[in-house]
Chains A and B, each alone.
Chain A
């Protein structure tokens, strides 16, 4: 059984339909990427999964349990953790407070401390800046903080929205290396939304191509990387990443 499954999900912003029947699956231990142009519905898909938008039709299941009726905070408590586009750092909270608030649904103090140390081990720069206000960090550090904060919830699945957005190429590489490590070494299941399709497909096991609210193509990442249609539309000649 898939860990996360979307069945024919339709979502709207007011009257504008953003998702027109999206179905997809993520298995335990997988990295799955959603790629597509601006406005294809990638972010909307993540916001619908995490409960910030309620689907008007269709259902979402976590390990077979229907979660699409739950409020956002209850979905987090089930282990679906969304690291939003733009990172969503609490600028007036310190780095450590930001991380601790990621564990808001947990009550096990000892476990939280262990995970905090683990996050600091993964992102040493965050330890250096633990007393600093989140808003004073650089873009790359904020992205690390957002991902670390997501990990503090002990996610069953991590939803990452555009983790490389606005970062310098060297940081983009670092972020993708961290995503790979989180998955391969710590076994974190990840659904990754990316503009940078090539880098995303290189780190992912499978991919879905979204186009105006539909799944246009799906398949193993290695096949999508050489698919002529994908290459032409999304991997273009500019060779980023």
Chain B
């Protein structure tokens, strides 16, 4: 028995070692060949940071719910879709109908204001984006709260596999609800003035949309950290995540805290949905699946249940996905390396699970195994 365990560990470490070696050899070969300019590398890093902060926002939803309920909310990708796709229907009138763009006077007050300042005035664009954010967050929060109420709460005392399977069912149910409700064709977000083109920050050229994503995600994460660390709700969330019964004995309404956790996770996913749509322009009913899976991977990578871990995991994963193909694979003469970015993402997961099963910032489980 003992020997068998050792052999398994040895085999795993051997696999991990081979992968690491391939990464090193590939990177060295790529850098020696010098195929990409410094600027190209920098663009890849910036792109990775922008996408990574989106992943981090979604990953936080997984990690918050896991921290409280010890379950993976596999329908969280659809919570993200709900925000992005619902906000599409607000984005179209706000940014392409003449009514809200100062070319018709049907809404005297609003139309007048838009006409006076011009549809590209930063204040007008900002207000419109905040409206979209409200729609997107509202839709995602609604879906998240309904999920908790209808799908998960009745199973609170069921074995852990049951809510997991329910979550997968809920995910598929929601995907096809969006397909039925919003249509199964991809839709294209309208162009947002001020977000097109590039700008320069600290001497680095960056797409404006990417800058918005990075700044907004950083702000939201700062708000979340404040909420968890310093507010009554955050204190209650931390207590419930450690021990529900004892939390109830402190006078904490555990069910209410669970609902709030889904609200917070949903709001972050809604914001991520809108930012994703502004960056990538397209929405469709299936759009949440892939980011959901990646964000879940990011949450595990960072240490599931750990808030800074989810942020770090998201950034880390997407940076590797962005830089990895060019850095690790091109030097190994692998054709169409960028197609393999998903393979890189999940290889990162395998490596982490081999060398640090609790994730980057995860705590080691005691001998008891919680």
Query: Please, which residues of chain A bring their CB within 8 A of the CB of B248?
Result: 51-52, 71-73, 76
B249 on interface, CB distance cutoff 8 Å: yes
Query: Please, which residues of chain B bring their CB within 8 A of the CB of A91?
Result: 242
Q: Is the interface of B mostly helix, strand, loop or mixed?
A: helix
State the Cβ distance, A116 to closest chain B Cβ, in Å: 15
Q: Which of B248, B250, B253 has the most CB of A within 10 A?
A: B250
Give the nearest-CB partner of A153 in chain B: B251
| Contact pick for A97, options B235, B243, B252, B254, CB 8 Å | B235
Which A87-127 residues have C-beta < 8 A from chain B? 88, 90-93, 97, 100-102, 104-105
- Report Cα–Cα, A51/B251, bound state, in Å: 11
* Known contacts A73-B254, A101-B235, A104-B236; A93/B249 CB under 8 A: no
A93 close to B242 (CB less than 8 A): yes
B245 on interface, CB distance cutoff 8 Å: yes
B239 close to A101 (CB less than 8 A): yes
Query: Please, which residues of chain A bring their CB within 8 A of the CB of B242?
Result: 90-93
Contact size range, B: 10 to 19
Query: Please, which residues of chain A bring their CB within 8 A of the CB of B232?
Result: 104
Query: Please, which residues of chain A bring their CB within 8 A of the CB of B236?
Result: 101, 104
B235 close to A100 (CB less than 8 A): yes
Query: Please, which residues of chain B bring their CB within 8 A of the CB of A88?
Result: 243, 245-246, 249
- Report Cα–Cα, A84/B246, bound state, in Å: 7
State the Cβ distance, B255 to closest chain A Cβ, in Å: 8
B260 on interface, CB distance cutoff 8 Å: no
B208 on interface, CB distance cutoff 8 Å: no
Query: Please, which residues of chain A bring their CB within 8 A of the CB of B243?
Result: 88, 90
Which A126-171 residues have C-beta < 8 A from chain B? 149, 153
B249 close to A50 (CB less than 8 A): yes
Query: Please, which residues of chain B bring their CB within 8 A of the CB of A24?
Result: none
- Report Cα–Cα, A72/B232, bound state, in Å: 18
Query: Please, which residues of chain B bring their CB within 8 A of the CB of A90?
Result: 238-239, 242-243, 246
Interface residues of B (CB under 8 A from A): 232, 235-236, 238-239, 242-243, 245-246, 248-254
Between A and B, 19 residue pairs with Cβ closer than 8 Å are A50-B249, A51-B248, A52-B249, A71-B253, A72-B248, A72-B249, A73-B254, A76-B248, A76-B251, A81-B249, A82-B249, A84-B246, A92-B238, A92-B242, A93-B235, A93-B239, A100-B235, A104-B252, A105-B251
13 extra interchain contacts, Cβ-Cβ under 8 A, other than A51-B248, A52-B245, A73-B252? A50-B249, A52-B248, A73-B248, A73-B251, A73-B253, A90-B243, A91-B242, A97-B235, A101-B252, A104-B250, A105-B250, A105-B251, A149-B250
